[in-house]
Amino acid sequence: MSWDDFPFFALPAAALWLVAGVLALRADTPRRRLAVHLPMLVGIALFAAFIALFWTALQRPPLRTMGETRLWYAFFLASAGYLTWLRWRHSWLLLLTAAMAATFAAIDVLRPEIHSIALMPALQSFFFVPHVVIYILAYALFGVATLAALAQIVRLRRDTADTSLFAFMDDAVHVGFGFLALGLLLGAVWAKEAWGHYWSWDPKETLAFITGAAYLVYIHLRAQGRADALAAWALPVAFLLLLLGWLGTALFPGAQGSLHLYS
């Protein structure tokens, strides 16, 4: 199992997610809802199967390269979108998360990476898998919250802001921030064990601080009870900073010396 086999899993999965997203828009009877559950679950299972087989073939966790993190992101985003739909029934949100997950899967189909079994000694640690997986899970929740915020911004312009949508954004951001903080703390404990200090202002760490601070701004704005455009706009801005930290660290000066730059 390698990147060569990825399209055979990713393309059907992405198609199934998109079908489920479209069908969700009209899922008003139990039978029609079944037509959402089935393709969503089969798509997620296909993706999970690829990750599991890929992991076995690589002989190391597939969490080292950008493409590998995108793999998990698509998986978590689809899963988070589905769980959100189960709980909140925002059908349009399922379609948007399905489209976003399909996009990330498509990037990996269009830019396959080179097969490599090497895992540098610094990454061979108990902390490697939870540190990265928890971060990506947080990213996925923030992705869903951002899509909801964009919808809320449109509603605010029309003066039809939805309180239940704010409630959903709050939940997604609080849970996401909890995961972000756990990922960061696991990273700090690991860094102490691997590099001798728990925080070094490495370019990726600095961007993690910036991302965390941006979400703290949203959390405190909402704790003040501000249900307005400023609170809603905080989420897309924070998500842009998040993407910068995840995919764009290499663009910044000092990144060459970064301890976080793994192809």
Partner 1 sequence: MARKLWQPPWGFREGALFVAGIALVGFALQLTVGYFDFYVLHFPANIVALALLVALIATGARWGDAPLLRWFSGMSFAIALIVGLLVLAFYMELTPQAVRPPPPSAGWVARLGFASVTSSWPFVLLYATTLLALGIAVARRLRHATRHDFVFLCNHLGLWILLAAAGFGAADMQRVVMYVREGETEWRVYNKNEEAIQLPLAIELKDFRLEEYPPRLALIDRASNKPQPEARPDYVQIDPTRTRGKLGDWNLVVDEYLHEAVRIDGEFRPSPMPASTPAARVTATNALSGAVKSGWVSGGGNVAGFYAALDLDDKSFLAMTAPEPKRYSSDIVVYPKDGKSVAARLEVNKPLTVAGWTIYQFDYDKDAGKMSTYSAMELVRDPWLFPAQFGMALMALGALLLVWRGAGARRRTP
Distance CA 155, CA 90 (A): 15
Closest CB to partner 1 among 92 and 198?
198
Kindly list the distances between the CA atom of residue 172 and the CA atoms of 4, 112, 147, 237, in Å, as whole numbers in the listed order: 35, 31, 11, 16
Task: Name residues contacting partner 1, limited to 168-187 (CB under 8 A).
Answer: 170-175, 177-179, 181-182, 185
Is residue 195 part of the contact set for partner 1 (CB under 8 A)?
yes
Q: How far is the CB of 72 from partner 1 (least distance, A)?
A: 18
Kindly list the distances between the CA atom of residue 45 and the CA atoms of 12, 49, 187, 188, in Å, as whole numbers in the listed order: 11, 6, 29, 33
Is residue 66 part of the contact set for partner 1 (CB under 8 A)?
no
Q: Tell me the three state secondary structure of residue 190.
A: helix
Is residue 192 part of the contact set for partner 1 (CB under 8 A)?
yes
Q: Does residue 208 contact residue 186 with C-beta atoms inside 8 Å?
A: no
Q: Tell me the three state secondary structure of residue 114.
A: coil
Is residue 250 part of the contact set for partner 1 (CB under 8 A)?
no
Distance CA 127, CA 70 (A): 19
Q: Fill in the per-residue mask, 6 to 45: x = in contact with partner 1 (CB under 8 A), - = not in contact.
A: ----------------------------------------
The number of residues that bind partner 1 (CB under 8 A) is: 58
Q: Which of 8, 45, 125, 129 binds partner 1 (CB under 8 A)?
A: 125
Closest CB to partner 1 among 29 and 117?
117
What's the distance, CA 27 to chain centroid?
26
Of 70, 67, 95, 63, give the one whose Cα is nearest residue 81.
95
Give me the residues that bind partner 1 (CB under 8 A), please. Answer: 2, 57, 59, 114-122, 124-125, 167, 170-175, 177-179, 181-182, 185, 188-190, 192-199, 201, 203, 206-207, 209-210, 213-214, 216-217, 219-225, 252-254
